[in-house]
Structure 1
Amino acid sequence: MELVVVIAILGILAGIAIPRFMSATETARGAKTVADLRTLESAAVMYYAKTGLVPTKDDLEKGNTTLGTAALVASWPVPTSGKAIIKNNDNKEITWTISSGAAYSINAEGRPTIGDLTIDQILKASTGSELKK
């Protein structure tokens, strides 16, 4: 009888715990994406402050020998694809899917993007559908 009670308690605890851990991967994927974009944004701002020019991906990753600038990013990050959960500026969780072909790039204004979305656009979104482009 005690064994049945123990098994029942373990089943209840597993039923509570498993759903909480299932979203951990998606939350980590979202946090990595935001951290990568912030790092690239900082590097782009530093490059612009040093040179007064809008950086390209190569300027940040390899430096610009003509201008005498060093690389500001040790290696270009690669986003992980799949479902991602991001907390927006209103502290609301936004769920979106990062496609397998997604890559970080630099737009014409020198802002880092993923799928044409800047970090500002991602953090201002109120629904995941706003992030689908």
Structure 2
Amino acid sequence: MVKKFRDEAGFSMLELIIYISIVGIILAVAVPKYNNAIVMANTARIQADLQTLDGAVMMYYTETGQYPGTIGDLDDYIKNVTELHPPKGKYMLKDGTVGEISDSEYTIDVEENEALCDGHRLADFGRQEKTGRGTE
């Protein structure tokens, strides 16, 4: 026979349901914000890396009279350039598209002489451009 004590401590079923509901609501708000922060951090890092690489491309051209064929050619202009890799995860383009980074290295577009990440140049990355603000 099981004896029940009136002083037993614990949560009632209603308290547990309320607690789980509150945690669920907090997670429903926090997780998308966290994921968006990761996307924007990756985008900012890619932008900074591409800007650095584009600057090194121009310095290489100024000194040699020709454009580099690969990222490795920029070793004299960027310390440890071979260790410079895109972050893992997602990024955002200015047209609002969110993409998954598939390349493990930055590349150089030999026709446009710009650094690329996942086939996109520096000008492609960033927050979605808003149009229709104010009076025109």
Whether 1:52 aligns to 2:55 is no
Say whether the 8 Å CA contact 1:113–1:119 is kept in structure 2.
yes
Question: Which residue does 1:75 correspond to in 2?
Answer: 80
Q: Note if 1:105 corresponds to 2:107.
A: yes
The TM-score, its normalising length taken from structure 2, stands at: 0.61
Residue equivalent to 1:65: none
SS in 1 for 2:100: strand
**Structure 1 runs of 4+ off > 6 angstroms?**
none
Instruction: Tell whether the 8 Å contact from 2:43 to 2:125 is kept in structure 1 after alignment.
Output: no
- Corresponding residue for 2:6? none
SS of corresponding position for 2:51:
helix
Picking from 19, 31, 52, the partner of 1:18 is 31
Q: Distance in 1 between matches of 2:35 and 2:118?
A: 26
**Identity across aligned pairs (percent)?**
27
Structure 1 residues 123, 18: CA separation in 2 closer, same or farther (over 3 Å shift)?
closer
Residue 85 (structure 1) aligned to one of 91, 98, 121? 91
The aligned counterpart of 2:11 is: none
Is 1:96 the counterpart of 2:102? The answer is: no
TM-score (norm 1): 0.62
Query: Unpaired runs of 5+ in structure 2?
Result: 1-14, 129-136
Q: Which has the larger share of strand?
A: 1
Match among 53, 62, 70 for residue 40 of structure 1: 53
Q: How far off its partner does 1:46 sit? A: 1.7
Distance 1:119 1:55 in 2: 17
Look up the equivalent residue of 2:45 and give its one-letter code. K
**What residue ranges of structure 1 are gaps of 5+ in the alignment?**
62-70, 127-133
